[in-house]
Structure formats: structure tokens, C-alpha cells
Amino acid sequence: MVDVSTTNIRPDRAAVASQWQLIWWAFKRHKLAMAAMVVTICMYIVALIPGFFAINDPIQQNARTTFYPPQRVHLMDTTNGFEIGLHYYPMKLTRDPETLAAIYKEDTSQKKVPIQLFGRGYTYSVLGLFESNIHLLATTDPSKPLYLFGADRLGRDVYSRTVQGAQISLSIGLVGVFMSLLLGIVLGGISGYYGGKIDFVMQRVIDFVLSLPTIPIWLALAAALPQGWPATVQYMMITIILSFTGWAQLARVVRGRFLSLRTEEFVAAARLDGVPEGRIIFRHMLPSFSSHIIASMTLAVPAMILAETSLSFLGLGLQPPTISWGVLLREAQNIRSIATAPWLFMPGLAVVVAVMALNLFGDGLRDAADPYNK
Amino acid sequence: MTDILSIAPRSSIAPGKPLLEVRHLVTEFPLRTGVFRAVNDLSFSIEPGKTLCVVGESGSGKSVTARSILQIIDSPGQIASGSILLHRPDGTSLDLAKLDPRSRAIRSVRGRDIAMIFQEPMSSLSPVHTVGDQITEVLRLHLNMSKAQARTEAISLLRQVEIPNPEQALDRYAFQYSGGMRQRAMIAMALACKPQLLIADEPTTALDVTTQAEILDLIKRLQQSTGMAVLFITHDMGVVAQIADDVLVMHHGVAKEYGPVEQIFHAPQDPYTRMLIGSVLKLEQKAEIRLARPPLDTSAEPILDIRNLSMHFGDMKALNDVSIALLPGETLGIVGESGSGKTTMGRSIMRLYDPTGGEMIYRRADGKVVDLAKLEGAELKAARRELRMVFQDPFGSLNPRMTVAQVIGEPLLVNGIARGRELDERVCHLMDQVGLDPAGRERYPHAFSGGQRQRIGIARAITLNPRIIVADEATSALDVSVRFQVLDLLMRLQDELGLAYIFISHDIGVIRYMCDRVGVMYRGKLVEMGEADKVCNAPDHPYTQALISAIPRPDPRDRDRSRRFRYTEPSPYTEAGNVKNGSTAR
Amino acid sequence: MLKFVVKRLLWMIPSLFAVSFLAFVLIQLPPGDFVTTYIATLASSNEVIDQNTAAQLRERFGLDQPMIVQYLKWIWGIISRGDFGISFEWQQPVSGLIWERMALTLVLALVSLIATWALALPIGVYSAVKKYSIGDYTFTAFTFFGLSIPSFLLALVLMYVAAVEFGADVGGLFSPEYEAASWSLAKMYDLLTHLWLPVAILAISSTASLIRVMRANMLDELPKPYVTTARAKGLSEFRLLIKYPLRIALNPFISTIAWLLPNLISGSVVVAIVLNLPTAAPLLLQSLMAQDMYLAGAFVLLICALTLIGSLISDILLALVDPRIRLE
């Protein structure tokens, strides 16, 4: 029964509210999940056009800015009177007289460099469709680049690389889940719909796959990939490897839903109405669990992102020069890198934020997914 | 039976003083949008040794009332105001409403002074603890017995509630008991500390009628021997008439009428009570619509002739060689308790199950004869347009994700009969026919009440101009005041459309009201078949006689319990062969 | 009960064969066979093998035969003599390399499992009972954080904190002086002082998911009628909580072994590599990088077999504690 009384929706509107409307109402009450949804959407927008959000060319090396620390961006300038506008100062390099370690200090004696919104910078391609050089943030003095998250050992901009990495890391989650879903829906659906012996065998297979430890298998599969493959093929192979074990979870969900729906009276009623099998599945059964599937998918995406990150971090996933969060984190593989350049962990922060947002979003979806059984 | 005498109340109370006095009780559930008053300004009292029945339809607040007394209301409900005075035998009085729900004081009342039994004996007992464990627990808690003492006492309690082999039964789990045995175990647990008051919250609703009669007898006997008072919550007016001393009628959290059982049944004051009693009495006789009809032509060729139908699930013979015929325009009742195979029969006729044996000869409108049991593909589809079904569950049988127009129009659409504007007009007409406002056709099922949903289900069934409708417990989920309205609708449609019904029910009242002829099913077999009046009033088969005798009459003046008896199946395995759901505890 | 256990044990046989076949396919996946790789490795250190020796090697490992025959030879070697083949990188039988590392892997997984349970059980129960309290929100925040942080990142950060802030000796499972020493009480103690960090890392992420499982289980059980029955008997809230809903919510908790163990072992692979623990994982990674496939295959086989045994144990445990399974 729909719990209209606990919503602030007028009953006459609730009476004609479709399933998605009811789910949306229930979801909206979940403030944290709403916030997570906004963050998720923002991140996927960044992943769609990373070039626009980047500042420096992510593959541009710069020998003079090795381990350049993150720069501060100022809004107010009080050196000459009072001015408002985003700007920064270049860093000055000194060396510790004893250890000769590099010490960067903000050099406010130099002229400030204003930051331009929607300014021009390096040229990037938008999804391979057209090229542009407009960026959200652009420096007005290309000879004094801005490093928001600092630079790595080759002087590359960590911020722009993190933004660029979002494209691969976030999309690999989606593509991987999509492939798992195809396998999961087909196999789980067959299992749940037909039941009996087919279901029994499929259940054993699913149990078996679920009882396997994923990382060693992924490692072994990834290790078997030839090293020299082009980046796109590598990308596809990694997603296939990840879905090799990921489908079982979704198949189990789909099967469970199918099995419980098969015995629902409204499905029996549809059969008696003379509804053909295909229409029973797509018109009567699928809408009943599509919301659950979407919730399960949303919850599977972060697992995929974590898996890709771990594999690439261990050196068996994507390989440089492909930029993903896992590849970026390879730069921070030991204690020494943490001590000298902690900002190399910024991609890790991106992973945490992305995964947390997706988890919270998926959790809220799952809670709202069934508006009829309260 | 001598054991029962050993249960004596701890001391008797001076007559006249009530055991429990409830005054102006208000129980509220805070919601997001405000406060829901489940119980509103309720007052009543219970005398020692007497039975008070609280009766009402779903959502009347009767169950919350029972739970308020012990302060075990489901979160976030709480008592807002009022008092619940418990007068203990030692002369002290305690206001339960003022106690903290977690306090030691209320805990010492629960299970000791006031005990409670619930509707679902299966889920009310822990699935992973033995029955003995759960009974001895309460003895050890309140009476400080040793383990051995508690065990001995628990065995004697099980014996008092007539559980066979109590020594072994004690170490079994609830799922190894039958439904009736579970409720007996619950009663044993509740009576362990010889409480002054037993609160029974719909204790027999989940049970078959013959089992219900036994449980009611048991409670009555125990009450007589111990002198405890009983607060009995039920929706069944028949049960009220049989057991109550006083009756409290509730509706939407408010007491509608409160008085002696005689007054409630024979001189009701409140219009709601009168309506309730009227609905119940209506189902005690033939429907008025049927009285006006000409007698059924019994010489006509049957429209559906079921011969030796069997449906086996593995070793389980759900349907065992059943033969029955349906005449044109007839309402044929199929009655039986759970596990009798009546639902399997309906589903086999509709070919939701493929019968394992026998034939179902269906005479089509053009006079051609087909065997439904053998039909496949297009022919089966064509037959299903003429045979339709109404389901039991008004919630589960409508797809919550389709609007009412889509639900009713689906058969027309998929059979290519109507679409677009024409479909819309047909749907409006159908909704009119079943008494629903066509303006609501774009609404989703969740916006309708149980009775309205069942009307939607009926509209869907008559969409394709069927000749036979199989109605499987079509009114069981409905409140009694709605029940006869739906039955009347079915009969009106029968006259308008010339339908034949196969009406499956466990409720003899509904069958008597609705049906021309009745078949009685017992463990997969058809044991008796005859005119409805004959079967309901003077049955031949001993099982039917036992079944009829177990039905509580909605008249407090007709309380002859001696006429009730058990049916024992004439078979080698009769050690506990009384009629039970499945088998008894072995 | 006995029937259930026997049936479950019989199911292990096809599962183990499936795992072994999977491991063998993984061995076979890289292009070229193991002798080609072997020759290439030797060639890089300026050793040359003539065609005859290569042919002999191929014959010895049966590489000229169909794959199924090779598989049968390999699996027969394992079953009959515990012979997992030869690691060409280490120039010695695989069986000599794996057992101690597998034992440490098992120790790490078991200790983490126990730590996870010890943390998740009370927290999950608390969160369910005090639903929507500040404590519940705090733990929920923690669980979401624990679920979101990759284990290697957590390992790096904790390692940094432990090493820099507390000056603890991190990395590895033993101090240098005990590494080669034989087992003794002192070595055990040394192991314990090193074990806490990997266990903490593994426990944080798996505790997070387990808390959510336990909380959901408890929330399912708390409104059940048998809880009301127990309350109506006069039991105190604490006593009835322990005896009824907790006891019943434990059943699905026990069955978490089946997926917790694979997760822990997966996680331990990453953590072990970052912390350079002497468990199976770093050697597995190394062997995979070097395409030392017999060694890698042995590890994959044993690790998978371990998780299968784990799910077997959880099923049997579940049957032991749940009369509904035991008696039906």
C-alpha cells in the first residue's frame, strides 16, 4: 500500500502518480541521497568534457616544475588598496642549505597572475566531435602556469590529470556495469523465468562465481593481456575482465525478482488476459523490477571504479600514457612519495568522493525503489 | 482434563470490582504530517472471569487497544492520555498507562498478571528456539523456578492445552507443529503464570474453522477452571456471539457501542453496529436477488463437465479424482478448508496449472465441445476469453504500476478487440457496470480501497464477455460490510450477462448467500455435492457435518457447544485424525 | 543434517574441479607456452638453450599434447604428489614456495575475519536498535567512508601515519631478525606486533559492509511478532534483544563468510602488495608480471579453493545453528 500519509503530496495527485513519480517523491525526502545525486551528476559532467574543466594540458611535462606544490588561489588583493578577482602568485624555489631539498614558497613580491573565467588555454577535443580551447579557469600568463593540486615528478599538473582521469575511471564503471547487466539480465532472467533445472544449474554457477576472490582472478586475467595493445582495446578488455565476475551479483538480483514476480497474481491475471509472453515480461514484469535493477546498478558502479583503480594501481590495469585515477595513484606508491608530495593523493580523494557519492545515491535509490511495499 | 483444575487463580477478587478499568484512553502515532489517533477516548472495563470482545473491521484500532494495555505498541505509537487501572488481587491498583514501557513495574505485569496471545502463532514463536525453551523462560522469569521445575511445569501446561506427547513436543520447534498446535503452545505459554487477564488478539483468524472451534473451546474451558478474564479481539461477529459476555464495537479508533452481548446482537443502538450486525445476518441466508430468480434448469447440458480431474505435485495429491459439473447460469460453490485443494481446482480449470489427469469438457456457445485439459496455443487462448477469473488478493492481483484503465483495457487491447477512443469508451462502460466512477480510470490501484479494487478485478473479468467466471476466495480479504456488496454485484452481473460462476470459498456464509449448488472438498477429494440449502443445513457426509457444526453462529442465544464434533477420517492413521491444516504434530 | 552435510561436501567436488580448470586456463592464457618464456628469460641473461633441451622440456611438461591432457597431467600431479609444477623464475618446484606464504595468507584472512565480526556485530546491533540516533548516523558515516576508500589508499595513509607519527615498524610481517628464523614464541609475538596494521586496513573496509548487513538484518527482525511476544512475557529489553532478534539475525550474519572471505582475500592481495607482506599476494603479482604461470596458477588455485572451503564451512555452520535448515 502506498504510504501517502507520510508524504506531503495531496491525495488526488498521489492517486494518478506513476511508479516513477512515487519513487521520486520518496527519493526526494532522502536529503543525503539527493546531495549525493547532485555530486554524481556534476562528476559525470566533468567526465564528459574534462578538457573544459582542466587548466593545463594533462600530458604536458615541465622540468622546471617537478613536485611543484599546490598553489593558493586568492580572491581579495590588499597589496595595492583593495581589489576583488581570482588570482595567484607564482612559487619561488629555494633549497634547504643542508639537505638541498627543494622548498617552494609563495612569492607575493612578484606580480599577481589573474585567473580568467571561460578564458582560452590549450586545445582539447570534446568527445572527439569538435575542438575547443575555452576553459572554466584559465591563467592569463601561460609562462607562469597554475597548479591547483601541484605537479608530479615530471612537472605535470595533478589537477588537470585528475579531471582528465575522471573520464576513464567514471566511464569504466558505467561500461563495466552495463556489460555485467547484459550478462546478468540474460542469465538471471532465464534462470528466474524458466525455473526448474535451468534455474538449479544457473544458481550453482552464480554461487560458484560469487565465491571466487575477484582480485587474484582479475590479476591473472589482466596479466594475460598482451602489453602492446592500444589504449582503447586495453580499456575494453579491462571492462570485460571486471564484468567477468561482476555479472553474478546482478544476475542474482534479477533472478530473485523474476522468481517472486512469477508467482504474483497480477502476472497470472495477465496470462489469463491472453497477454503474449513477450508482453508479460516487458509490460508487466520488467517495470516491476526495473527500479530495483537501476538501484543495484548504481551500487555496482562504485565497486567497478574501485576495482579499476586497484588493478591500475598494481600495474596490471590500464597503462600510462592512459590517464585514469588508478594510473595516477601509481605515482604515489610508497611512503617517500607521501612524505615529499602528499598532493599526489588528490586522485585518491577524487576516488573516495566519487565512490561515496555513488554509494549514497544508490542507497537512496534502493530505499525508494519499491513504493508499493511499505 | 483433571489437570485443568490444578490451575487456580492466585486468589479470588471480591465480586463487583472490575479487574481492569480503561478510562479515556488515547493512543497516538506521530507521522510526518501530524498525529494519527489510532485509539480515541476509549473507556471500558473487564470483570474477573468474564470475556470482553472488542470487535471492529480493519483499521478500527482494536489491536492497538490490546497492545496499549501492556504498553507494547509498535514504535512510534504511544499512549497520549487516559488511564488503564489494574486492580490486583492483593487490593493494590496500578495505572499501567503511567508506567514507562521499559520499566520494571510494567514488565512484572506482562506475562504475570496479564498475558497475551497473537494472530499468527507461527511468526509469534521464535523459529530457532524450542517451544519448551520459550515456555520455561516465562516460568523462570516470573516464578523463579529452577530449570527442572520449569520443565515439569511446562510439560503439565502442554498437557493442559491438549498437546499430544508433551514430553517430546517440548523439545520441538514451532515450525514442526501444525497451525492449531502452535496456537495451543502460545496459550500454554500465556497461561504459565496463571494470569488474571488473557488478551487474545485475533487468535483464531489464521486458523481453519474447525481448528478455531477447538481453540475457542480450549480458551473457554481454561477460563472456567482458572477464573481468568479474557479480552478477545476479533473481526468475526460469529465468534463474538459465541464467546462474549460484553462487547465493545470499535470503528476508526472510537467506541461505537459498548454493552452486553445480548444487547449488541438483539437490540443494537448505534447505526454502525446495526449495519455490522445486518451485514453478518445477511450472510446467514440466501441472497434476496436469488430468491427472485426462477428455479435453475437442472436438465440442461452442463456448460463445463469436469471428469476425474487430478493434479499431483510430486507425491502430494492436491486434486484427487474430482468430478463435478457446472450448469449454464448456475453458481457452483466449492467449499473446503486450507489444503483441501479448492484453489488448485480453480487454477487447474483456468489452466494456470496443467492437470496431471482427467478431462474438463467445455461446451462452447456454438455447441462445440472441447477438453480444456488438452487445449494448447490459440485454442487455449480462445477458451480463456470465455472463462475468466477473479482473484482473492485485491492488492496482489492488480499490477500496481498500471492505471485502472490499463488494467481493465489490457484484455481488449491484447486480443485486438478495441483500441484508442473505443477502448476508452469500453473501459468507462465496464467501470460503470461494476459501480466505479469512470472519472477515476487514470488512477493507479493504490488509490482504491480493497472493495473497489475487487470491483476493478471483476471489471477485468467481464471485459471479454465471458460465459464462466471462476472466483477464488473473491471476498475473503474484504471486511464484512463490503463483502455482501461485492457478492450482490456479482449476482447482478450474472443476471445481466448470463454468467455461470464457480465460487471457491472457505466461508459457508458466503456460499449459502451466493450459490445454487455446493461441492465440499477435503484433502483433494470431493466428499459431498448437493443443493446449497441442503449442504449448508443438513449435510450427509460426516466431514461436512463437522465443518458446519464448527461454524460460530452470529447469535448469542444459539451457543450450544455440545453439537460441535470432530471429523475423524476413516483410515488406518487416525491417532490424531481430527481435521487440521495438514497434519498434527508428530 | 548428515544428509545436508554430505550433499554439500559432494558439491565441493565439481566446484574444486571448476576452480582448478579455471586456474589452469589462466596459466595457459598468455601467448606462447611456458618453455618459450623460459627460453626468453634465459636468453636475457645470455644463456642459450638448444632445441633439444627445449623439446625435452616440452615433453616433460607434456606441452605438445592437447590442453585437456595437459590439464589432467597437471591436476593429477597435484592430487597424487602435491606437485604444482616448477617455477622457472625461482628455479625450484612451486610447492616449495607456496605453503608458508599460503599459511600466512590464511592467518591474515582469519584474523581479519574475526576482527571484522568483533567490530561489526555490536556496531550493527547498536545502529539498528538506536535507529536514527547520533550514534547511528556516526557509524553510518563511517561505513560509507569505509566502503568508499580503496584499500591500497587506506594502506598507504595508515602506513604513513604509523611510520611517521608513531615511528612504528611497518611493512612486512616480521622484523628483519625474525624473517629467516624458525618459528618460536618470540617470532609469534613479532608477527602479532606487525599483524595489526594489515588487519586494521582489511577490517575497516569489510566492517563497513558488514555493519550495514547486520543493521539491515536487525531492522528486519526487530518488528517481527515473536519480539512482541517476548516483550509481552515481561522480558527486559536487553534480554529479549540478545535472546531473540540478535540470535536470529546471526544466521544471515554467519552466511556472510561465504562472500566476506573472498572479499578479505581479494583485499589482502592489494594490501599485502602495498605493505610488502610475505603472504601469497606479492609473489602472485610478481609471478604474474614475469608470466611464471605454474607458480601463479598454484596461487590462484589455492586461494580460490580457500574461499570455497570458507563458504562450505559457513553453510555447515549455518545448518548447525539454524534448526529450520538442520531439521528439514
pLDDT tens for each residue of B552-577 = 888 888 886 666 677 777 654 444 44
Q: B137–C233: do the CB atoms touch at under 8 Å?
A: yes
Give how far C42 is from chain A: nearest CA, Å: 20
Q: Is B452 on the interface with A (CB under 8 A)?
A: no
Domain count within chain B = 2
Residue in the block written with cell 467481464: B462
Residue where the block lists cell 607564482: A90
Q: Are residues B36 and B145 in the same domain?
A: yes
Q: Where are the beta strands (DSSP E) in B368-480?
A: 369-371, 387-390, 468-472
Q: Indicate the pLDDT class of residue B460, thresholds 50, 70 and 90.
A: very high
pLDDT at B229: 94
Residue B576 in any domain: the answer is no
Residues B233 and B308 in one domain: no
Are B246 and B304 contained in the same domain? no
From chain C, pick out residues whose CB is under 8 angstroms from the CB of B113: none
What DSSP assignment string belongs to A143-165?
Answer: TS---TT-B-TT--BHHHHHHHH
Give yes or no for B264 touching C (CB within 8 A).
no
CATH classification at residue B98? 3.40.50.300
* B314–chain A nearest CA distance, Å: 14
pLDDT of residue B132: 92
- Residue B333 and residue B519 in contact, taking contact as beta carbons nearer than 8 Å: yes
Q: Which is more confident, C280 or B132?
A: B132
Give the residue among C32, B160, B390 at the shortest CA–CA distance from A266.
Answer: B390
Range of the domain at B33: 20-282
Instruction: Return the minimum-mean-pLDDT range out of A219-228, B30-39, C7-16.
Output: A219-228
Distance from CA of B13 to the nearest CA of C (A): 23
Looking at B258, B282, B306, the residue that finishes a domain is B282
Q: With a cut of 70, which residues of chain C have pLDDT below it?
A: 30-38, 40-49, 60-64, 167-172, 176-181, 328
Q: What is the mean pLDDT of residues B401-427?
A: 90
Tell me, yes or no, whether B79 lies in a domain: yes
Confidence tier at A195 by pLDDT (50, 70, 90): confident
A204–C11 CB contact, under 8 Å: yes
Looking at chain A, the whole-number percentage of residues with pLDDT higher than 70 is 94
Judgement on whether residues B200 and B214 belong to the same structural domain of the protein = yes
Give me Rg for the CA atoms of chain C: 24
- Partner C contacted by A170 (CB < 8 A): no
Query: Domain check: are B197 and B329 in the same one?
Result: no
Which residues of chain A make contact with B444, given a CB cutoff of 8 A? Answer: 15-18
Please report the pLDDT score of residue B14 as a whole number: 46
Q: How far apart are the first and last CA of chain C?
A: 8
In a domain, B572, yes or no: no
* Torsion angle defined by CA atoms of residues A240, A244, A247 and A252, in that order, rounded to the nearest 10 degrees: 180
Q: State the number of CA atoms in the 13 A half-sphere of C236 facing the CB.
A: 6
Bridge partners of A106? A91
Flag whether pLDDT at A38 surpasses 90. Answer: yes
pLDDT of A5 higher than 60: no
pLDDT of B571 reads: 57
Q: What is the DSSP string of B141-152?
A: HHH---HHHHHH
Task: State how far the alpha carbon of C155 is from the alpha carbons of A116, B123, C71, C140, C265, in Å.
Answer: 39, 46, 38, 22, 15
CA separation for the pair B260, B249 (Å, rounded): 11
3 state SS of B244 = coil
* Omega prior to A321 cis, within 30 of 0: yes
By CB atoms closer than 10 A (0-12, 13-18, 19+), residue A314 is: buried
Nearest to B381 among A1, A14, A274 (CB): A274
Cβ proximity of B393 and B384 under 8 Å: no
Helix (H) or strand (E) holding B250: strand B246-251
pLDDT at A4: 43
| Strands ordered across the beta sheet of B34-46 | B34-46, B20-31, B78-87, B93-95
Which residues lie closer than 8 Å to A31 by C-beta, 6 or more apart?
none
Q: C232 and B120 in contact by Cβ < 8 A?
A: no
Structural domain contains residue B7? no
Partners of residue A352 in chain C, C-beta under 8 Å: 145, 148-150, 153
pLDDT at C251: 82
Q: Which of C113, C156, C157, C264 to mutate to test the interface with A (most CBs of A within 10 A)?
A: C156
Mutate to test the interface with A, among C29, C147, C295 (most CBs of A within 10 A): C147
B302 with B427, same domain: the answer is: yes
Residues B27 and B102 in one domain: yes
Test A279 with B414 for CB contact under 8 angstroms.
yes
Looking at per-residue pLDDT, the higher value among A90 and B563 belongs to A90
Confidence grade of residue B578 (pLDDT, cut at 50, 70, 90): very low
Q: Which residues are bridge partners to B52 per DSSP?
A: B231, B246
Residue type, B302: P
Question: What is the nearest CA distance from B268 to chain A, expressed in angstroms?
Answer: 34
**Residues A343, A346: Cα–Cα separation, whole Å:** 5
Above 90 in pLDDT, residue B231?
yes
Q: Which of A120-124, B147-151, B363-367 has the highest mean pLDDT?
A: B147-151
Decide if B356 is inside a domain.
Answer: yes
- At B163-191, the pLDDT tens digits run 888 999 999 998 888 888 899 899 999 98
Read off the C-alpha cell for B90.
Answer: 492483593
Which three-class secondary structure state does DSSP give residue A203? Answer: helix
Q: Whole-model pTM?
A: 0.83
The torsion angle over the Cα atoms of residues B528, B531, B537 and B543, rounded to 10 degrees, is: 10
Asked if residue B496 and residue B399 are part of one domain, the reply reads: yes
Interchain CB contacts (distance < 8 Å): A and B: 81
> C307, A211: Cβ pair inside 8 Å?
yes
CA distances from B46 to A233, B15, B239, B548 (A): 81, 12, 18, 32
C247: nearest CA partner in chain B: B128
> What CA–CA distances, in Å, run from C131 to A65, B385, B396, C128, C249?
52, 52, 31, 5, 16
What pLDDT sits at residue B21?
A: 92
Q: Give the 3-state secondary structure of residue B551.
A: coil
Closest CA to B52 of B7, B12, B9, B19: B19
Final residue in a domain of this structure, among B282, B309, B342: B282
B376 touches chain C (CB under 8 A): no
- Asked if the C-beta of A268 comes within 8 angstroms of chain C's C-beta atoms, the answer is no
For A83, B153, C282, C319, the CA distances from C326, given in Å and listed in that order, are 78, 28, 41, 5
Q: Give the least confident one: B144-153, B156-165, C176-185.
A: C176-185
Q: CA of C235: which chain B residue's CA is closest?
A: B107
B500-557 tens-digit pLDDT: 999 999 888 889 898 999 999 998 899 999 998 889 888 999 999 888 888 888 888 8
What pLDDT, on a 0 to 100 scale, did the predictor assign at position B521?
93
Phi, psi of B328 (to 5 degrees): -60, 135
Claim to verify: residue B319 and residue B229 sit in the same structural domain: no
For residue B377, tell me if it sits in a domain.
yes
Question: Who's near B1: CB < 8 A, 6+ residues apart?
Answer: none
The most distant pair of C-alpha atoms in chain C lies apart, rounded to whole Å, by: 86
Residue B499 has pLDDT above 70, yes or no: yes
Cell of B115: 498475558
Supply the mean pLDDT for chain B.
Answer: 86
Please choose, from the candidates A54, A56, A50, the residue with its C-alpha nearest in 3D space to the C-alpha of residue A143.
Answer: A56
Q: Is residue B581 part of a domain?
A: no
Query: Between chains, do B401 and A287 touch, taking CB under 8 Å as contact?
Result: yes
Q: Residue C31 has what pLDDT?
A: 65
Give the rounded distance of the alpha carbon of C186 from its chain centre. Answer: 26
CB B513 within 8 A of CB B283: yes
Q: Is the pLDDT of residue B455 over 90?
A: yes
Partner-chain contact C323 B138, CB within 8 Å:
no
Which of the residues B33, B313, B379, B401 would you substitute to probe the A interface, choosing the one with the greatest number of A C-beta atoms within 10 Å?
B401
Query: What is the DSSP code string of B379-399?
Result: HHHHHHHHEEEE-S-TTTTS-
What whole-number distance in Å separates Cα of residue A83 and Cα of residue A95?
Answer: 33
pLDDT (0 to 100) of residue B134: 92
Under an 8 A CB cutoff, do B384 and A272 touch? Answer: yes
Which domains can be identified in chain C, with CATH numbers?
2-94 (no CATH), 104-327 (1.10.3720.10)
Is residue B15 situated within a structural domain?
A: no
Q: Residue C172 has what pLDDT?
A: 67
- Please indicate, yes or no, whether residues B372 and B275 belong to a single structural domain of this protein: no
The pLDDT of residue B133 is 92
Give partners of B (≥3 CB pairs < 8 A). A, C
Q: Is A339–C160 a contact, with Cβ atoms under 8 angstroms apart?
A: yes
Highest mean pLDDT: which range of B315-319, B323-327, C143-147? B323-327
Which helix (H) or strand (E) element contains residue B25?
strand B20-31
> Which residues on A lie below 8 Å from C258 (Cβ)?
210-211
Name the nearest CA neighbour of A372 among A13, A14, A12, A8: A14
What are the pLDDT digits (tens) for B333-381?
999 888 888 889 999 999 988 899 899 999 988 888 899 888 888 888 8
A220 contacts in chain C (CB < 8 Å): 26, 29, 288, 296, 300
For residue A359, the chain C residues in CB contact (below 8 A) are: 144, 147-148
B333 and B211 inside one domain: no
**Residues B155 and B232 both lie in one domain:** yes
CB pair distance less than 8 Å for A212 and C19: yes
Rounded Cα distance between A73 and A87, Å, is 6
Question: What secondary structure letter does DSSP report for A43?
Answer: H
Domain C-terminal end among B282, B314, B342: B282
Closest-CA distance, A4 to chain B, in angstroms, reads: 9
- pLDDT tens-place string over residues B72-130: 988 888 899 999 999 988 888 889 988 888 888 999 999 899 999 998 888 899 888 99
**Residue A338 sits at the chain C interface (C-beta within 8 Å):** yes
Helix (H) or strand (E) holding B52, with range, is strand B51-55
